[in-house]
Structure formats: structure tokens, C-alpha cells
């Protein structure tokens, strides 16, 4: 779901993400972080390894079939369509003056004209209204629209988790939540802070340099600028939550856990066509779906093994990271030169997830980057 679905933005502007003095400070802190990492590598390892051994925490890949990924993609598409439909009805009601700020209504059918609720004509007017009017109407109910996004996204995630559990016996570890369940929350936070200074300042410096030749465009800048100018602080807070919390969580779940994890199992079981298509079905799922023979064929090879440090130089280690990073960069096309530094950021995040299996380590670094940019926009 794009930000424009929640807060329709007017024209885009050219703006650098960070001021030069702040970027210089970040680069100095990055140099310190790299130096400390080099000279205190054993301490850094404790943030990544288990307490009792040097075994990587990531003990399993996102071992599913491509049909399961298509199923998840369809769930997200249905949620996006539902979000758009409900949002248009809500904005139509706001434009018609039938909803006050902070109050809620339930979505209604178009034929309910007698009740004074949004009709098809109201919905058409939403598409014909000036952009500024629609933006103000959406900002009036910003938390409602963001809450709707979170609700639909949570439903999709719950359905995907339950389906994965039944089809493949997947646990929280497969979804990148294992380290937190093993009590490494403090290590996750410390690792995210260190990872932020190792990756983000360099990425921002590259982006700043490329901005001299390529126009940076992002609708968030116009949304934040417009809400700040109009004094809509509640809507601005909702925007910050959407950009700094929700978006990193969804993007890291899709690109790091699902796409990179699926690419890992394809590399490890590339010759098993049935495993690549349907995944390693459990016997119960295979029997219920009438695919017992296919389930047997998909389990013909040994389960995916843990990735160790010894495979750092192999193509099987880096191929899934490169694939997911390329897709991550392409997903941010249309933002000037941003896909280039974001590709490098995704390589770093992919490495961290590959070696730790910690989804929230990547989410926190991503959130810190988005949050820093938002703070700069608000204070500028």
C-alpha cells in the first residue's frame, strides 16, 4: 500500500534527505563504528551469535514453494483493494460533511442513498475533487486510515502465518522472530544501533552525491510539508508512524524474510522442482490437499542447513541477498537516484538477516533511517 493511498500528495519537490552538517557528523560516527567493529570484533560477534556457541542464530530458511508466495501476494492485493475502497468511501463522507474528525463510521453500500451515507456520486466526486481538498479530507481522518492499513496488514500476516504453519510446519523462527524469543532483545537494539552507524551514513553520503545529478522525489516530503504548514499535528504524527514504523516492518518482512528466504531455499534445493513449486509440504497438508505423492517428492532432499561463516565467499551465500536487494531497489524506482544507495543498504540488511535470522534487527535500522529523514523534514 503506497503512502498516497493513505495521504494523497500534491506535486513532488526536489530536496536532499539530510543537511550537510548532520551528514558530516554521521560520517564521523560511522568511522568510529567501523573502527570499533574492527578492533572489537569478538564483542560484535556476541550481538550476532548464541551465548553458548558460535553457531549462527538463523537455523532455517523461509522454506516454502512459489505457490505459497503467490498466495501471500494475492492476500496483499485483496487487502490493498479493500483499503482503497474503504478509504474512498471514508473520504467521500468527510467531503460531504457527514463525518467529524475523530469519529468513525462503518463502510456502507452505494445503494443506501436514503440514509444520507456516501453514494456512488460521492465516490465519483472524490476522484474529481481538487487534490488539495482530497488531501485535507484524508488528513482529517489520518489515524483512521493508518489504523485501517495496520488492521488489514495484520490480518494478511495472520493468515499467512497460520497457512505456513499448516502447510510447512513453519515456526516463528522461519519468520525472523527467533532471536527475540530467545531473549536477545537487548542485543537486537544494540546491534541495530551499531548497524545503523555502519550502513546508513555511507548510504546517505552516496545519495547526497548522486542528488547533484538526479532529482530526488518522494511524496512523503510534500505530505509532511503540507501537514506542517496547515498545523495538522495529529495527521503528521500518523504519517510519521506509517513511514517510520509500519513501512519498515512490511518491507523487511517481504524482501528479507520472504523473498530472500525463498531464494535461499531455491539455491539449496534448486534441482528439486516439486520443492521449488509447492515447497516441503507436511504429510498432513499433503494428504488433505490430495498431494501425498508430491509431498513425498518435495521432501526427497535433506532439509536446508544452517549458514555458517565458512560460506561467506560462496555464491550461494550472496545470491539470495543480491536478488532480494535488486527487487528492493526496483520497488523504490521513481525516486531519482535513491534506488542505487538503497540497493547498497539492502545488501547490508540482507547480510545481517542472513547471518542472524533477526527480522527486527533489520526493521530497527530501516526505522532509524526513515525516522531520521522525517525529523529532518519536520525541523527544516
pLDDT digits 0-9 by tens, 218-236: 677 777 777 777 777 888 8
* Whether residue 147 sits in one domain with residue 42: no
- Of 169, 195, 225, the last residue of a domain is 169
CB 283 within 8 A of CB 87: no
More confident residue, 37 or 219: 37
* Whether residue 37 sits in one domain with residue 24: yes
pLDDT band of residue 294 (cuts 50, 70, 90) is: low
* Whether residue 339 sits in one domain with residue 219: yes
* Whether residue 330 sits in one domain with residue 184: yes
Q: Is the pLDDT of residue 337 over 70?
A: yes
pLDDT of residue 121: 59
* Whether residue 165 sits in one domain with residue 46: no
pLDDT of residue 322: 94
- Of 139, 169, 199, the last residue of a domain is 169
Asked if residue 244 belongs to a domain, the reply is yes
CA dist., res. 159 & res. 126, Å (int): 32
**Residue % of the chain over a pLDDT of 70:** 72
Asked if residue 34 belongs to a domain, the reply is yes
pLDDT of residue 136: 59
CA nearest neighbour of 43 among 176, 180, 190, 178: 190
Asked if residue 279 belongs to a domain, the reply is no
Q: Is the pLDDT of residue 143 over 50?
A: yes
pLDDT of residue 123: 55
pLDDT band of residue 251 (cuts 50, 70, 90) is: very high
* Whether residue 118 sits in one domain with residue 252: no
Average pLDDT over residues 195-209: 91
Counting the structural domains of the chain, the total is 2
Mean pLDDT, the chain, rounded, equals 77
Asked if residue 284 belongs to a domain, the reply is no
Q: Write the CA distances from 317 to 13, 27, 39, 56, 251, integer angstroms.
A: 40, 29, 25, 14, 21
What are the helix (H) ranges across the chain?
3-6, 20-39, 41-48, 66-95, 120-128, 131-140, 142-168, 178-181, 185-210, 219-230, 233-241, 247-252, 261-268, 273-278, 283-288, 292-298, 315-331, 339-356, 359-379
* Whether residue 130 sits in one domain with residue 13: no
* Whether residue 76 sits in one domain with residue 150: yes
CA dist., res. 335 & res. 207, Å (int): 11
CA nearest neighbour of 268 among 68, 56, 55, 63: 63
Show the cell assigned to 71. 498466495
pLDDT of residue 10: 37
CA dist., res. 147 & res. 45, Å (int): 38
* Whether residue 14 sits in one domain with residue 136: no
Asked if residue 134 belongs to a domain, the reply is yes
* Whether residue 71 sits in one domain with residue 58: no
Asked if residue 235 belongs to a domain, the reply is yes
> Which range (29-38, 57-66, 177-186, 252-261) has the least confidence?
57-66
* Whether residue 240 sits in one domain with residue 109: no
- Of 169, 202, 232, the last residue of a domain is 169
Average pLDDT over residues 199-227: 79
Interval 3-12: pLDDT, tens: 444 443 333 3
pLDDT of residue 111: 44
* Whether residue 202 sits in one domain with residue 240: yes
Asked if residue 287 belongs to a domain, the reply is no
More confident residue, 90 or 60: 90
Q: Is the pLDDT of residue 35 over 60?
A: yes
What is the domain range of residue 135? 65-169
pLDDT of residue 196: 95
Q: Is the pLDDT of residue 21 over 90?
A: no
CB contact set of 82 (below 8 Å; sequence gap of 6+): 152
Average pLDDT over residues 356-373: 92
pLDDT of residue 216: 66
Q: Is the pLDDT of residue 146 over 70?
A: yes
Asked if residue 288 belongs to a domain, the reply is no
More confident residue, 5 or 150: 150
Amino acid at each position: 500500500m503506497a503512502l498516497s493511498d493513505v495521504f494523497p500528495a500534491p506535486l513532488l519537490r526536489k530536496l536532499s534527505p539530510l543537511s550537510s552538517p548532520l551528514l558530516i557528523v554521521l560520517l564521523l560516527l560511522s568511522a568510529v563504528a567501523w573502527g570499533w567493529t574492527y578492533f572489537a570484533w569478538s564483542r560484535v560477534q556476541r550481538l550476532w551469535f548464541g551465548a553458548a556457541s558460535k553457531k549462527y542464530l538463523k537455523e532455517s530458511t523461509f522454506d516454502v514453494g512459489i505457490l505459497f508466495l503467490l498466495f501471500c501476494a494475492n492476500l496483499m492485493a485483496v487487502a490493498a483493494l479493500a483499503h482503497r475502497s474503504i478509504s474512498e468511501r471514508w473520504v467521500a463522507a468527510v467531503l460531504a460533511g457527514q463525518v467529524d474528525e475523530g469519529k468513525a463510521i462503518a463502510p456502507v453500500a452505494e445503494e443506501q442513498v436514503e440514509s444520507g451515507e456516501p453514494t456512488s456520486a460521492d465516490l465519483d466526486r472524490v476522484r474529481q475533487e481538487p487534490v488539495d481538498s482530497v488531501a485535507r479530507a484524508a488528513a482529517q481522518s489520518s489515524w483512521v486510515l493508518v489504523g485501517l492499513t495496520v488492521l488489514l496488514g495484520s490480518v494478511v500476516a495472520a493468515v499467512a502465518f497460520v497457512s505456513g504453519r499448516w502447510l510447512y510446519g513453519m515456526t516463528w523462527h522461519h519468520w525472523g522472530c527467533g532471536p527475540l524469543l530467545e531473549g536477545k532483545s537487548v542485543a537486537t537494539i544494540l546491534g541495530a544501533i551499531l548497524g545503523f552507524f555502519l550502513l546508513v551514513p555511507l548510504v546517505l553520503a552516496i545519495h547526497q552525491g548522486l542528488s547533484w545529478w538526479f532529482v530526488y522525489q518522494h511524496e512523503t516530503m510534500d505530505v509532511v510539508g503540507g501537514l506542517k504548514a496547515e498545523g495538522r499535528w495529529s495527521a503528521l504524527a500518523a504519517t510519521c508512524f506509517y513511514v517510520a514504523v509500519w513501512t519498515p516492518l512490511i518491507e523487511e518482512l517481504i524482501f528479507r524474510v520472504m523473498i530472500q528466504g525463498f531464494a535461499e531455499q531455491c539455491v539449496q534445493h534448486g534441482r528439486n522442482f516439486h520443492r521449488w513449486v509447492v515447497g516441503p509440504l507436511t504429510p498432513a497438508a499433503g494428504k488433505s490437499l490430495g498431494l501425498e505423492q508430491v509431498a513425498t517428492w518435495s521432501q526427497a532432499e535433506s532439509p536446508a542447513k544452517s549458514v555458517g561463516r565458512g560460506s561467506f565467499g560462496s555464491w550461494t551465500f550472496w545470491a539470495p541477498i543480491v536478488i532480494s536487494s535488486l527487487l528492493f531497489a526496483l520497488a523504490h524506482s521513481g525516486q531519482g537516484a535513491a534506488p542505487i544507495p538503497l540497493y547498497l543498504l539492502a545488501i547490508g540488511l540482507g547480510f545481517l538477516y542472513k547471518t542472524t535470522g533477526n527480522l527486527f534487527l533489520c526493521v530497527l535500522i530501516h526505522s532509524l533511517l526513515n525516522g531520521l529523514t522525517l525529523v529532518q523534514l519536520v525541523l527544516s
